Amino acid sequence: MAQIVTNAIVLRRADYRENDRMITLFSPSMGRIDALCRGCRRQKSPLMAASELFCAGEYVLYQTSERTTVVSCQVTDTYYALRNDYERLSHGMYMLELCGAAVQPAQENERLFLLLLRALAHLCYGDVPARRITAVFLMGMTSLLGFRPQVGRCAKCGTPVLQNRTNDETLIAAFSPEHGGVLCPGCSAGERCRLREKDVVYLQEIMRRGIKSLDAEGDCPQALFDALRSMAEGRLDTPIRSGRMLV
């Protein structure tokens, strides 16, 4: 039996019995934690906010051999404004579900935790299009899970993708979810996601600067976004149901 204090964010919730809720937390030091939040659905319960999706804060947990229970929570952010914008809310829920599939119990992953919080902050408080934010999150998440996308050289033959810059609108490459990166013209036959020079530059900027690349101009075409989703979900080998909500 032990009391644990950890920063965490709520990834999932499910009502349990009359006034309780089971929640899934993502802790940077403890990975995924399934915990019982007793009485949180009662009116004026101090744990009401702590049991909601997106709630981030310092959680005090009581852990036994059978169950982990939420004792209290010092809330730092609820990202409440997401609930006023369906598109941004759906992208936020997609990120939560991706993390729920990626993070394992007792598995430390502070970098993914910070990436998630920063991406949610951009969704909630910034004006960068939601699709761009999620594209950066997908690239960062797959890299942190050990599947770094190849964007400088062809993911199949190793040829440098950008050798001679000519025209940003020229279709010069393709993105392959199966190969995990950009393919050169010679290897890209049959690929659906075709890339212009500026699309390749955009991907390289994401890999170089991560979440900081959102302060620069750039776009993520729908076909490329769909390919990034396919790559990430394929690596997780888990259906991400909230992806159907994305617009």
Q: How far is 151 from 109, CA to CA, in rounded Å?
A: 24
Answer yes or no: is 244 within a domain.
no
Residue 56 is predicted with a pLDDT of 98
Residues 101 and 42 in one domain: yes
Residues 156 and 215 in one domain: yes
Answer yes or no: is 132 within a domain.
no
Answer yes or no: is 4 within a domain.
yes
Q: Does residue 110 register a pLDDT over 80? A: yes
Residues 13 and 109 in one domain: yes
Answer yes or no: is 163 within a domain.
yes
Residue 170 is predicted with a pLDDT of 76
Q: Does residue 207 register a pLDDT over 70? A: yes
Q: How far is 21 from 34, CA to CA, in rounded Å?
A: 11
Could you give the 3-state DSSP secondary structure of residue 95? helix
Answer yes or no: is 172 within a domain.
yes
What is the mean pLDDT of the segment spanning 7-16? 97
Residue 1 is predicted with a pLDDT of 61
Token pair in block for residue 223: 């076909």
Name the pTM for this structure. 0.94
Per DSSP (E only), the strands in 171-212 are 171-176, 181-183, 194-196
Residue 89 is predicted with a pLDDT of 97
Q: Does residue 113 register a pLDDT over 90? A: yes
How many domains does one find in the chain? 2
Residue 193 is predicted with a pLDDT of 95
pLDDT, averaged across the chain? 94
Residues 144 and 51 in one domain: no
Residues 162 and 225 in one domain: yes
Residues 10 and 52 in one domain: yes
Q: Does residue 65 register a pLDDT over 90? A: no
Answer yes or no: is 243 within a domain.
no
Which range marks the domain in which residue 183 is found? Answer: 140-238
pLDDT digits (tens, 9 = 90+) for 79-93: 999 999 999 999 999
Residues 160 and 89 in one domain: no
Q: Does residue 96 register a pLDDT over 70? A: yes
Residue 164 is predicted with a pLDDT of 65
Q: Does residue 168 register a pLDDT over 80? A: no
Instruction: Give me the CATH number covering residue 60.
Output: 2.40.50.140
Residue 217 is predicted with a pLDDT of 79
Cβ-contact 122, 213 below 8 angstroms: no
Residues 93 and 168 in one domain: no
